Structure 1
Amino acid sequence: MEKLQFQLDSNSPSATKKSVICGVVGSGNLEILVSKTENQYQCVIEVNTSAVGFEKVWHAVLNEFSQRYAVGGYKFQLNDMGATPAVVSLRLSQAVVMLQGERNE
């Protein structure tokens, strides 16, 4: 297992204050736990992965994500079991949609 942590700038802070869980840890998949943090213009992303040696790939995927979405003020905990970069991007987008859906309640 490899543990990585990234603090990435986000274009703007998130408007919601909810937490979510999406995905499941399983073969070729990942789970994402999302909670609030104090810094409104940065997101913290922690990655626990079974795929060792891919820090540059993780950074590229996660940096693109933090620039595309308003995720400032959030901590994302990713528990990965070998998901491809495309699956990681899809699951992160799903987490954002879940957060936005919570805002409407």
Structure 2
Amino acid sequence: METLVFKYKADRKLTQRAHVGVVGSGDLEILMVPSDEEHAHVSVRTGSEGFSETWKAVLDRFFSVHTIQAKIVINDFGATPGVVALRLAQALEVSENGSE
């Protein structure tokens, strides 16, 4: 099990929490909580070790567009980068619109 931590500058507040996905084979769970800090704090817990550069690339791309102030916990069970990007977009939509 590996834990990765990332931090991104942020300037846009979220209105509510979000919980999307499930921890299961090839999937992941994202918990997104609004924050008043001027950055996003992302913690990734994954059973697939050695993919920190891949995680960084996916998160860099997401936060280059969405500068949200949030605490994000990602619990991964072997999700592909495409699934990670999809779940991040889904969590952001839930946080902004309240729809699941």
- Both structures adopt the same fold (TM-score exceeding 0.5): yes
Q: TM-score, normalised to structure 1's length?
A: 0.87
Q: TM-score, normalised to structure 2's length?
A: 0.91
Distance apart, 1:70 and its partner CA: 3.4
What pairs with 1:1-105 in structure 2 (closer than 5 Å)? 1-10=1-10, 12-14=11-13, 16-40=14-38, 42-71=39-68, 73-102=69-98
**RMSD, aligned CA:** 1.5
- SS in structure 2 at match of 1:78: strand
Q: Partner letter of residue 24 of structure 2?
A: G
Q: Distance in 2 between matches of 1:83 and 1:48?
A: 12
Distance apart, 1:38 and its partner CA: 2.9
Q: Distance in 2 between matches of 1:24 and 1:85?
A: 16
Q: How many residues are paired up?
A: 99
Q: Partner letter of residue 68 of structure 1?
A: V
Structure holding more strand per residue: 2
- SS in structure 2 at match of 1:87: helix
Q: Partner letter of residue 87 of structure 1?
A: V
Give identity over the alignment, percent. Answer: 37
- Which consecutive segments of 4 or more residues in structure 1 shift more than 6 A? none
Distance apart, 1:68 and its partner CA: 1.2
